Amino acid sequence: MSVALGPRMLPCLVWVPDARQSGAIPTHETARLRRSVWWVLPLLACVACSGSSSPGGEPDGGSHDAGCETPGPTENPPVDEKKDTLAASRLLRRASLALRGVPPTDAEYAAQEAAGDEAAQRAFVDSFVDRTLHEPLFYRTMFEKARDWFDIPVIASTADAPEYGAQQQRTVELCKPGTAKAGAWKFYRGDTKACDGLKPDGTPADETTLEPWWAPGTTVTLVGYAGNTSETGITMPNGTPTPVNCRQVGPEGTCGCGPNAVRCHADHGTYPGHENFVIHNAQGQRRLLFEEPARLFAHLAWYDRPATDLILGTYSVGPTRVQAAYVSQALAGGLTALHEDDSWWRPERYSQAPIDPEHTPGDPYAWREYSVPARNPFLIADRDYRFDPRTQTGAVRGVPAAGILTSIGFLAGYPRERLRGARALEILACEVFSPPQGQTFNEYRRDPGTEGTCQHCHRRLDPAAIHFKRYAKHSSAFEGWGAKYFMPGVGTAWHWPVAWRKGQFPYGGDPYSHWNRWYQPDTLLTPVTEAQATANPESLFIDFLPSDQTLLGQVSDGTIGPLGFAKLIVASGSFDRCVVRHMHAQVMGRDIDPAAEAGYLEAQVKRFVEGGRKIRPYVKSLTQSNLFKRGH
């Protein structure tokens, strides 16, 4: 028996010759043989034809599901090009669904029909594709595609909703009508007499007028502790009055909101906290941070940036409320110079930034491009920063910015390093983690990366997870403030006495308990010796892959943090293959099987990389492929 394919190997038409012609198989065996192989040969032939080329050399960018068909009773039927090519109207529908997610309008169908004959109507589709790729709806399609693809959860609350959002700012609310200071802003909690113009002891409350970051060009009045402009204040840890430097600790205790109130969040809602916390508020900070990774992908597609900027870049996109979260994180780490930086909230300072096509320049709600290191200098611009806590002491300068991998939405959405590593591999390298089948493992004692059943996955995910250690949410929060996030070992603020290693008060909860439980010396996740951990407890935060380990077959160059991970998956080719598969699924309607269609996948990746890893040109090339145009 043999398999014959059409002159262009598409569609995959399978036939079995009549064995009686050669006498090799008895007559009564021929029909049985044909029945037994009828459903097998199409699959084999389809695998063979995946990744075929047209006579002109253009790789087909499509689906063997759409291109392969089971033949009828006629042996070795010829390929009918007209029959196997979509009608112009069907092709228009396919293009519209791929690029916009909706069918063409009646007006578009009418315009296509009015174009003339079949050739003119097909040319209309080509023009439609070119036009649509530059319409805002294409940006929206890429955003929605990335949101579903990444599937990053919204940031969880630290305690009871809604007070515990991600803003790391203290909430202020308006004094109600009828009070002495009606219309002024006061702290939501901890200053009950402020709206009456009084301190708790009955003396006149502080009051200041300023231009707030959340409403540039206007002035507001802060009253009570919120309006305190002194450099020092009082906090009450464990009920004991303690003097503090207000510029360093922020609006805790009697300390105010700072210049332009950058340490506070003004909530206009009926219940303070809901505005930023509820996910159905499209302008709430919690939802905006959740959307930032997908918005960055859409931004790259819209501006024809390399897709690798998604994980290697030092920039991101976000409206003012998103950028406020990064500034707040930096302020919490002690970078008080950002108090005077107005480039992220004053429209004239950012009006020239590239923005999404759904807003206008200068709009504070526009998804505009910004430098992540400028907003949070602890997310540094250095592309090769190395720090080995086994041999180096002192503070880590920062963690290199790495696109969505250092976004607050990703890091806070996944509260543990192993979750981050596993999901980053699944999302960005298309890795699949599945339970082992019929294997025997050594006994589990303390390291899931080398012991027990769990090592089946942990041997792969722990070398990724090691890069995501230096970001952790504190287990408790103050009402109206939001969660606090630590970057252990970085800067001057995120260091603790050695008592945290023993879980002594106040280090009994997360993240200290998690670090003590899972950052065990001499494990795959924490490759430091017991002696090194004793000498320097911060060596447990080692966040680069040592040279004796590999990830996806790659050896690290020593770059710390998520950027080190990003470099490895790009070098392995896994990132490019994964992006191609997802874009192929978006346009062609199905994934590429990396096992059965390895050659076809590599051909697509080659086209993608040679095109500068740009999404829009690659999407267009798929719509021009022969397989995109095939069907009935």
Tens of pLDDT along 356-375?
999 999 999 999 999 999 99
Whether the pLDDT of residue 116 is over 90: the answer is yes
The DSSP bridge pattern shows strands 399-400 and 379-380 to be parallel
C-alpha distances in Å from residue 290, one per residue of 160, 408, 425: 19, 8, 19
pLDDT digits (tens, 9 = 90+) for 528-567: 999 999 999 999 999 999 999 999 999 999 999 999 999 9
Whether the pLDDT of residue 61 is over 60: the answer is no
Q: What is the pLDDT of residue 273?
A: 77
Q: Are 456 and 436 in contact, with CB atoms under 8 Å apart?
A: yes
Whether the pLDDT of residue 78 is over 50: the answer is no
What contacts 204, CB < 8 A, 6 or more positions away? 197, 198
Whether the pLDDT of residue 439 is over 90: the answer is no
- Residues written for the chain: 632
Where residue 236 falls among pLDDT bands split at 50, 70, 90? confident
The amino acid at 565: F
Q: In what order do the strands lie in the sheet with 264-266?
A: 207-210, 220-223, 185-187, 170-174, 264-266
> What is the rounded CA–CA span in Å between residue 302 and residue 296?
10
* 3-state DSSP assignment of residue 42: helix
CA-based nearest residue to 571, from 308, 388, 386, 313: 308
Q: What is the pLDDT of residue 40?
A: 37
Q: What is the pLDDT of residue 134?
A: 98
Residue 243 neighbours by CB distance under 10 Å: 10
Q: Of residues 195 and 5, which shows the higher confidence score? A: 195
Token pair of 37, please? 């192989």
Ranges of H-type helices in 511-573: 512-518, 530-535, 561-571
Whether the pLDDT of residue 460 is over 60: the answer is yes
Token pair of 66, please? 């759409």
The DSSP bridge pattern shows strands 170-174 and 185-187 to be antiparallel
Q: Are 490 and 478 in contact, with CB atoms under 8 Å apart?
A: no
User: Domain coordinates of the chain in residue numbers?
Assistant: 141-156+282-572, 170-262
Q: Are 327 and 344 in contact, with CB atoms under 8 Å apart?
A: yes
Whether the pLDDT of residue 237 is over 50: the answer is yes
Q: What is the pLDDT of residue 165?
A: 67
Q: Of residues 12 and 324, which shows the higher confidence score? A: 324
Where residue 160 falls among pLDDT bands split at 50, 70, 90? low
In this prediction, residues 132-154 reach a mean pLDDT of: 97
Where residue 48 falls among pLDDT bands split at 50, 70, 90? very low
Where residue 381 falls among pLDDT bands split at 50, 70, 90? very high
> What is the rounded CA–CA span in Å between residue 364 and residue 345?
7
Of the listed ranges 158-162, 500-504, 563-567, the one predicted with least confidence: 158-162
Q: What is the pLDDT of residue 190?
A: 82
Q: What is the mean pLDDT of the chain?
A: 87
C-alpha distances in Å from residue 439, one per residue of 446, 452, 483: 20, 11, 43
Q: What is the pLDDT of residue 418?
A: 97
> What is the rounded CA–CA span in Å between residue 198 and residue 446?
57
Of the listed ranges 191-200, 264-273, 415-424, 488-497, the one predicted with least confidence: 264-273
What contacts 508, CB < 8 A, 6 or more positions away? none
Where residue 272 falls among pLDDT bands split at 50, 70, 90? confident
Of the listed ranges 56-60, 276-280, 338-342, the one predicted with least confidence: 56-60
> What is the rounded CA–CA span in Å between residue 411 and residue 63?
36
Question: Where are any strands of DSSP class E within 164-271?
Answer: 170-174, 185-187, 207-210, 220-223, 232-235, 242-245, 264-266
> What is the rounded CA–CA span in Å between residue 593 and residue 613?
21
Ranges of H-type helices in 317-376: 320-332, 347-350, 372-375
In this prediction, residues 150-170 reach a mean pLDDT of: 79
> What is the rounded CA–CA span in Å between residue 501 and residue 458?
24
Question: 614 φ, ψ to 5°?
Answer: -95, 135
How far from chain centre, in Å, is Cα 63?
Answer: 28
Token pair of 486, please? 């630590």
Q: Are 239 and 211 in contact, with CB atoms under 8 Å apart?
A: no
In this prediction, residues 238-254 reach a mean pLDDT of: 85
Whether the pLDDT of residue 244 is over 50: the answer is yes
In this prediction, residues 604-618 reach a mean pLDDT of: 98
In this prediction, residues 605-627 reach a mean pLDDT of: 97
Whether the pLDDT of residue 179 is over 70: the answer is yes
Consecutive H or E run containing 578: helix 574-588
Whether the pLDDT of residue 44 is over 70: the answer is no
Of the listed ranges 223-227, 244-248, 328-332, the one predicted with least confidence: 244-248
Q: Which residue pairs from 431-435 have beta carbons closer than 8 angstroms and sit at least 24 positions apart in sequence?
A: 431/460, 431/574, 433/457, 433/460, 433/461
pLDDT digits (tens, 9 = 90+) for 309-358: 999 999 999 999 999 999 999 999 999 999 999 999 999 999 999 999 99
* Rg, the chain, Cα only: 30
pLDDT digits (tens, 9 = 90+) for 567-605: 999 999 999 999 999 999 999 999 999 999 999 999 999
Q: What is the pLDDT of residue 478?
A: 63
How far from chain centre, in Å, is Cα 167?
Answer: 19
Q: What is the pLDDT of residue 32?
A: 36
Residue 83 neighbours by CB distance under 10 Å: 8
